[in-house]
Structure 1
Amino acid sequence: MTKSIMIQGAGSNVGKSMLVAGIARACVRRSMSVAPFKPQNMSNNAAVTVDGGEIGRAQALQALACGLDPLVDMNPVLLKPESEVGAQIILQGKRYATMKARDYGTHKATLLPAVLESFARIGQGRDLVIVEGAGSPAEVNLRAGDIANMGFAAAAKVPVVLIGDIDRGGVIAQLVGTHAVLPPDDEALIKGFAINKFRGDPTLFAEGMDIIATKTEWTPLGIVPWFADAWKLPAEDVMDIASHQGGKLKIAVPRLNRIANFDDLDPLKATPGVTVEMIPEGRPLPGDADLVIIPGSKSTIADLAHFRAQGWDIDLQAHLRRGGHVLGICGGYQMLGAEIADPDGIEGTPSTVAGLGLLDVRTVMVPEKRLALSRAIYLPTGDAVSGYEIHLGKTEGADCANGWLSLDGRKEGAATADGRVMGCYLHGLFASDAFRETYLARLGRPVDAFDYAGSVQTTLDALADHLEAHLDIDTLLALAG
């Protein structure tokens, strides 16, 4: 019979996703068959699954930790924010609707049967399903119709372990306060707790653990010190996008308001000799960058307006005059063109806007979303490239004749004649080691060969070792129901 345990957080960004990945890898190393599950996620950093849908990037990493291909049932409800008040809803991998937050709040309970259906499927033939919550169960104002935390745990009868984040302070109040505000039936589902992101000597918090255990009657499972190599794993949350100082080759990335699928940056940050600098609003693009990458966007036209409002369009022209290179991926590729047309108002009000004019291409937004795991060839060298496509819009124009990828027998992407401005729809291409090495060498600063996929696996093993040393996994598994 399949067991399950749910990891919930006493707040957002307490490290749930990474803990699930590490626990999963530890259990796999104990010869268990394990799968991850997250009922509801909110992220514009999606992964394309082998069964043709999309899920949160964290569940794809957790699947990797389990030795599995990502499947839509691992994250049946994915919310992709499109504005300050609304999001696109992905149900079991496919677009379901676009709703404002208030409308979704009254509608989400109707999705519970599909969530439970996915949970049942993902557990078939497994020893353990590790479930990840979203946000915090202490948000009792959102409890009605909840499918992300206690609403799911109660419906699926899954025991809960609550995680507190000591790095942000007030961890005793986080956990004891959650105990105080939860209704009795929900509180009874919580069986244990742990502290995450501790810096310093964990024995100094021994009394704090005793206080929490006494006031909640939950089983203490340990104090997990800060995991210094966390940055080496793909990040999902926009809050986790950070610069990384790694070497002389500098890549500048403007931080768009609706940045999407920013996992393109993970292999670059991990490559020795490469510095990736995220540029926040209000700051110019640095003059010493070798490459500017304009990343994907969930709202391309709105992010293009934001790009111009920062003066980054002027900085980009100066960057090119200095001999720099520019790469646009997906939404960033669309921005580099001469024009973006949205006649059906897919991103909002129907409109046609001028692009940055650095590529002779034009994009028309269309309702059909392209979702595919793809293999391509980098035409200048013949290097194999693996990645995925996840976009709306069709891009055509004269510079497509300089397409630099061969994808399904057709040219993909566009480039200027001198190759210093390039764009494409293929995400994840820098995870291909040979291509990454070749492409970066074009910038005049060659880097050493680096096995990115191997480094992720090594880091997952190190994370599992870290949790085995500091988290009582045996007791956690005994709590599973």
Structure 2
Amino acid sequence: MILGTGSNVGKSLIVAGLCRLFADRGLKVRPFKPQNMSNNAAATAHGEIGRAQALQARAARVAPHVDMNPVLLKPESDTGSQIILQGRVAGHLSSGDFTRRGDFLPKVLESFERLSAEADLVLVEGAGSPAETNLRARDIANLGFARAANVPAVLVGDIDRGGVIASLVGSHAVLDEADRAMIRAFAINRFRGDVSLFRDGVTTISRATGWPCLGVVPWFNEAVHLPAEDGLDLSAGAPKRGAVLKVAVPVLPGIANFDDLDPLKQEDKVELVMVRRGTALPGDADLVILPGSKTTMRDLAMLRAEGWDIDIAAHHRRGGHVLGLCGGYQILGRVVRDPLGLEGPPGEADGLGLLDVETVLEQAKTVREVAFSHAASGAEGRAYEIHLGRSEGPDTARAPFRVGERAEGAVSADGRVTGTYLHGVFSSDAVRAACLAQLAGRALNSGLNYEAQVDAVLDRLAAHLGRYLDIEAILALAHARSF
């Protein structure tokens, strides 16, 4: 089990790299995260899981499965989350009701045992920090799981954020003896410069904790080319020399599945600007994208409170294009209705009115992977859907995509506003090229092969970890687990 001294210390990336490394050694490897909290989800054949576990499954060269992330909490507000249990919606959890999380442990262990039965090696990712002793009583994400499943752990600290010695030694100090015993070693991540300069730091940590060090891993610059797990990784964007298209994305509180934007970030000719609250949308944008949202009604209200509705209307009047993805598609319509109160009190709200469609949120949730084609060019790709609701209206007659025989999405009469429930459309090089050419009025001659690039980066990540971590010691820890 790979634990971290805090969130965003690189646990997901290390597990992904190790999955690829051990898979390429011929082992049957499976990733596992007992509990994840993220609105960046992936569709599998049997339901949804965290996007990070889908990437780890890809690294392990296997199809993603709901058992790889049996508990996914999808934040719907500052105080509550939707519960996805083994891929399916299983109710809601308030932040004050954290003791309920322990009720999920039997399902977590059930999924872990199924994965273990088909694997030579299971690599488990923790969540946040195991040193949050206030949450320990009902913990299933870190050492609570490790002890229940008897899985030895490695604690990773992020030196780039500072205080790594205190983080590791402090974690050791606050853990009780039984929890502490589950951690067999530590590692340092994201070092910049000559790793030998931290030799004394390693000695200090080892003397204070009794844990051996499995390595000091330098910063891996190419991590930016891999899908990120959560909103902590959303960068504001920067001017890009040579760009011919500017794409602006307002960052809404419930932003979901934002890795839809990753292929655009990698395009040399596209400048992607993530617009934070308190900032107007840039007036020189060619395209505004409203990304996926876990809380469409709340994000629609926030968009208006921020004045972005006025910015979007002005952008459209200037001849700009607008694209809505999933929740963003719903926001672009005339009205969003929530008669069952799925996102809060029952009610409805006027949308931006840029698409002549109406959306009704419904109890049944659509989660599926699909093959699709781009209506204008015939270019094909693979995508996925994760959404509540159904959108209907005259503009669906001009659907931008087709899924089999089914028309998907909507386009405005002037052709400049598009909505779709499909996630991942830009991951297809042919579809992305067609969409960008349509926007720019000419082919951009991109040399980006997005999917191949992701696999190449995973290969290089595996080599990077193999160079700086004691891989044989990690295998020895796994072999030492008693059943």
Offset of residue 80 of structure 1:
0.4
Which of 127, 132, 142 pairs up with 1:134?
127
Structure 1 match to 2:47:
53
Match of 2:295 in 1: 299
* CA distance in 1 between partners of 2:32 and 2:268 (Å): 33
2:11 maps to what in 1? 16
Change in 2 beyond 3 A, CA 1:61/1:259? same
Alignment of 1:115-154 (within 5 A): 115-154=108-147
Is the contact made by 1:271 and 1:452 (CA closer than 8 Å) also made in structure 2?
A: no
Among candidates 160, 163, 178, match of residue 156 of structure 2: 163
The residue type paired with residue 211 of structure 1 is T
Residues 253-286 of structure 1: per-residue CA shift (max 9 Å, x gap)? 1000010111110111122222211000010111
| 1:202-234 superposed Cα distances (whole Å, 9 cap, x missing partner) | 111110000001111111011111110111001
State the partner residue of 1:365: 361
Letter in 2 for 1:170: G
CA distance in structure 2 between the partners assigned to 1:39 and 1:137 by the alignment = 13
Q: State how far apart, in whole Å, the 2-side matches of 1:250 and 1:236 are.
A: 24
Conserved 8 A contact 2:249-2:291? yes
Distance 1:99 1:465 in 2: 40
CA contact (8 A) 2:236 2:276 kept: no
Q: Which AA in structure 2 matches 1:22?
A: G
1:86 matched residue in structure 2 = 80
Q: Distance in 2 between matches of 1:156 and 1:217?
A: 23
TM-score by length of 1: 0.97
Q: Give, in whole Å, the separation in 1 of the partners of 2:237 and 2:352.
A: 27
Distance in 2 of aligned mates of 1:314 and 1:87: 30
Tell me the residue number matched to 1:3: none
Q: Is residue 2:189 matched to residue 1:216?
A: no
Counterparts of 2:475 and 2:194, CA distance in 1: 26
Asked whether the equivalents of residues 43 and 56 of structure 1 are also in contact (C-alpha less than 8 Å), the reply is yes
Q: How far apart, CA to CA, are the structure 1 residues paired with 2:142 and 2:230? A: 18
- Which residue identity lines up with residue 399 of structure 2 in the other structure? G
Residues 407-456 of structure 1 show CA distances to partners (whole Å, capped at 9, x for unaligned) of: 23121111112311000101111111100001001111632142110000
TM-score (norm 2): 0.97
- The structural deviation recorded for 1:129 is 0.4
1:156-305 maps to which residues of 2 (within 5 A)?
156-245=149-238, 246=240, 247-305=243-301
Equivalenced residues, count: 474
Question: Could you tell me how far apart the structure 2 residues matched to 1:53 and 1:117 are?
Answer: 16
71-80 vs 467-476, which deviates more? 467-476
Q: Equivalents in 2 of 1:129, 1:380: separation in Å?
A: 44
> Residue 455 of structure 1 corresponds to which residue in structure 2?
453
Distance in 2, matches of 1:243 and 1:458, equals 26
**Residues 42 and 80, structure 1, Cα contact 8 Å, conserved in 2:** yes
Question: Alignment identity in percent?
Answer: 58
CA drift of 1:325 comes to 0.8
| Contact 2:59–2:458 (Cα < 8 Å) also in 1 | yes
Residues 131-174 of structure 1 deviation map (CA, whole Å, 9 limit, x = unaligned) = 00001010011110110000000000000000001111110000
Q: Does 1:36 align with 2:34?
A: no
* 2:54 and 2:64 in contact (8 A); partners too: yes
Any stretches of 5+ residues in structure 2 without a counterpart?
none
C-alpha distance in structure 1 between counterparts of 2:267 and 2:245, whole Å:
10
Alpha-carbon distance, 1:244 to partner: 4.3
Matched to 2:422, the amino acid is L
Corresponding residue of 1:374: 370
1:385 shift after superposition = 2.6
Q: Which residue in the other structure is 1:446 paired with?
A: 443
8 A contact 2:264–2:270 mirrored in 1: yes
- SS, match of residue 365 in structure 1: strand
| Structure 2: distance between partners of 1:238 and 1:304 | 19
* Pairing 1:332–2:328 present: yes
Of 471-480 and 366-375, the range deviating more from structure 2: 471-480
**CA separation in 2, counterparts of 1:98 and 1:125?**
32
| Structure 1 Cα separation of the partners of residues 371 and 237 of structure 2 | 28
